[in-house]
Amino acid sequence: MKRVAPYLACLISIAAVAAGGQSARQIVRAGRQADLPFSPAVKAGNLIYLSGQLPTDDAGKVIAGDIRVQTRRALDNLARVLEAAGSGLDRAATVHVYLKNAADFPAMNEVYQSYWPKDPPARTTVAANLMVPEALIEVSAVAVSPGSERRVIHPAGWVRSAAPYSYGILSGDTLFLAGLLSRSGKDNSVVAGDIRVQTRTAMENGAEILKAAGMSFADVVASRVFITDVSDFQGMNEVYRSYFPKDPPARATVRAGLMGPQYLVEVTMTAVRGGGRTVYTTPNADGSPGKPNPNLSSAVLAGGRLFVSGMMGNMPGNESDMAAQTRETLARIGRTLRAAGFDWGDVVDSMVYVTDAAKFAAMNAAYREVFRGDFPARTTVEAGLVNPAGLVEIMVTAAR
């Protein structure tokens, strides 16, 4: 791992945030703190949640260069934040890579592989517009603290992935799965077919990885689904929910580009083994019980962590108002947190999808009204939402 320059080291600190009289999470501060509503990273238990890292210099400006240059800088920034958290790249369990251009995938991989020559983290890579136009790549991650288990999970009989990632990383009771595509693990060949065929293939791949870790779909607590065509949403759902006949995981589904035109869907999941599991449905604004969704649970509590589904806030009258939709989205998340005994101070990570990067500032303004300081880690990208009236979708994880 690359060392932090001395003049940066003096700017690094970790701040504890109290909840109920005990330190529930630690805010990791690294380098110059820009006036942005997210922290570089948040530690909770043995996990470190890192915000999306852009290829920026020490002044916060995106560096000039092609995808190789920018990938190297983004990963160096990731390494710097991990060092501030007392960890390193070798402890990364799962990584999400967002590329502005899918055509940059091979060149990105060349650089990326040099940072993890052995036992790379699980990884999901999709194409999405970023909030800074000059950036070609953004990288977020969840890492495990030194001394914690970090074990590669590889199903028997599967070949090594053609790209530099592991199919699964297990740490204690938590399994992080790589993005699953319609591809055979036996020989990396593409399994062609419509959205139903491809969703089933991806989910069967997930079953093999879960089995190799001693788990099943009953242990899955959260997933992110990326589809290339919103018209495939219902077909994907038909297959997806057959794997979760009861208490499905929290989930967010958006439209994004995948790393090959042959792919229609990619699914990434997190599983937590044992220790009990409780699902929650978001209460209505008047406090009455909400209506369960057969495709996802509003939130799943497992292992002291609450995994909250991606939520939207579109309502009659706010169709074009990003700030209003963000406020309503956060109001629904807030009701869900409280139903499970959590609050905003427990949120460690958030994923924000916006349909128009030009409305980033409006989303941020409303976001700050809830998160006033000691922000959770966060990644924000532009993506299509499955509800055409939606402008923003936010998915969070809380810990206590």
Q: Does domain 301-400 have CATH number 3.30.1330.40?
A: yes
Residue 341: how many other CB atoms lie within 10 Å: 13
pLDDT given at position 34: 64
The fold for domain 1-148 equals 60s Ribosomal Protein L30; Chain: A; (3.30.1330)
Q: How far apart are the first and last CA of the chain?
A: 30
pLDDT given at position 275: 73
d(CA 149, CA 119): 13
User: Is the whole-model pTM more than 0.85?
Assistant: yes
pLDDT given at position 32: 60
Q: Are 41 and 13 in contact (CB under 8 A)?
A: no
Domains 1-148 and 153-274 share a fold: yes
d(CA 189, CA 187): 5
d(CA 104, CA 86): 31
Q: Where are the domains of the chain?
A: 1-148, 153-274, 301-400
d(CA 252, CA 397): 12
Q: Are 309 and 327 in contact (CB under 8 A)?
A: no
CA angle 311, 315, 319 (to 5 degrees): 100
Handedness of CA 325, 330, 335, 336 (dihedral sign): positive
pLDDT given at position 109: 98
SS3 394: strand
Give me the average pLDDT of each 10-residue run along the chain (400 residues): 33 40 72 79 97 95 97 98 96 98 98 97 98 97 96 97 96 97 96 98 98 97 98 98 96 98 98 92 96 97 96 96 98 98 97 98 97 92 97 97
- Options 3.30.1330.40, 1.10.287.890, 3.20.20.140, 3.40.50.920; CATH for 153-274 is 3.30.1330.40
Q: Give the helix/strand (H/E) hosting 68.
A: helix 67-84
pLDDT given at position 97: 98
Across-strand partners of 268? 224
d(CA 365, CA 370): 10
SS3 9: helix
pLDDT given at position 333: 98
